[in-house]
Amino acid sequence: MPLKRPHHHRDASTHLRVNPVFSREPIHVPRFELPDDGMDPETAYQIVHDELMLDGNARLNLATFVSTWAEPQAQQLMAECAEKNMIDKDEYPQTAEVEARCVHMLAELWNAPDAHAAVGCSTTGSSEAAMLAGLALKRRWQHRRRAEGKPADRPNVVMGINVQVCWEKFADYFEVEPRYVPMEGNRYHMSAEGAAALCDENTIGVIAVLGSTFDGSYEPVAEISAALDELQERTGVDVPVHVDGASGAMIAPFLDPDLAWDFRLPRVASINTSGHKYGLVMPGVGWALWRDAEALPDDLVFHVNYLGGDMPTFALNFSRPGAQVIAQYYNFLRLGFEGYRRVQQTCRDVAVRLAKEIAEIGPFTLLTDGSELPVFAFTVNDDITNFSVFDVSAALRERGWLVPAYTFPDNRTDLAALRVVIRNGFGHDLADLFLEDLRRVLPRLQAQAQPHRDVTDAGAFAHGTEAATTERRTDAKPAAPASA
Cβ contact 345:327 at 8 Å: no
Amino acid at 323: A
Half-sphere exposure of 340 (CA within 13 A, CB side): 25
Q: How far is the CB of 480 from ligand PLP (least distance, A)?
A: 11
Q: Cα 443 to the chain's mean position, in Å?
A: 35
The secondary structure element, H or E, covering residue 170 is: helix 165-173
Q: Which of 229, 186, 191 is nearest to 209 (CA)?
A: 191
Q: 324 by DSSP, 3-state: which?
A: helix
Stretch binding ligand PLP (CB under 6 A), from 240-248, 249-257, 297-305, 355-363:
240-248
Residues 182 and 336: beta-carbon distance below 8 Å: no
Which 42-71 residues touch ligand PLP, going by CB under 6 A?
65
- C-alpha atoms less than 13 angstroms from C-alpha of 120 in its C-beta half-sphere: 33
Minimum Å gap between C-beta 164 and ligand PLP is 3
In the list 86, 96, 198, 246, the residue contacting ligand PLP (rule: CB under 6 A) is 246
Query: Count of residues binding ligand PLP (CB under 6 A)?
Result: 16
Residue nearest to ligand PLP (CB): 125
Candidate list 112, 132, 166, 207; residue touching ligand PLP; CB under 6 A:
166
Name the phi and psi angles at 2, rounded to 5. Answer: -80, 40
Say what angle helices 389-398 and 428-446 make with each other, to 10 degrees. Answer: 120
* Residue of 334, 328, 262 whose CA lies nearest to 122: 328
Shortest spacing between CB 167 and ligand PLP, in angstroms: 7
- Comparing CB distances to ligand PLP, the nearer of 102 and 394 is 102
Interface with ligand PLP (CB under 6 A), residue from 247, 324, 328, 379? 247
Which of 43, 95, 127, 324 touches ligand PLP (CB under 6 A)?
A: 127
**Binding to ligand PLP by residue 368, rule CB under 6 A?**
no
> Which residues, listed in sequence order, are joined to residue 418 by a DSSP beta bridge?
378, 405
Does the footprint of ligand PLP cover residue 182 (CB under 6 A)? no
Which residues ranging from 291 to 350 are in contact with ligand PLP (CB under 6 A)? none
What are φ and ψ of residue 72, in 5° steps? -55, -35
Stretch that binds ligand PLP, among 2-10, 133-141, 244-252, 305-313 (CB under 6 A): 244-252
Residue (137 or 380) nearer to ligand PLP, CB:
137
Of 387-406, which residues contact ligand PLP (CB under 6 A)? none
Q: Which is nearer to ligand PLP, 209 or 445 (CB)?
A: 209
379 binds ligand PLP (CB under 6 A): no
Cα 290 from Cα 313, distance rounded (Å): 14
Could you list the residues that contact ligand PLP (CB under 6 A)? 65, 125-127, 164, 166, 209, 211, 213, 244, 246-247, 274, 286, 483-484
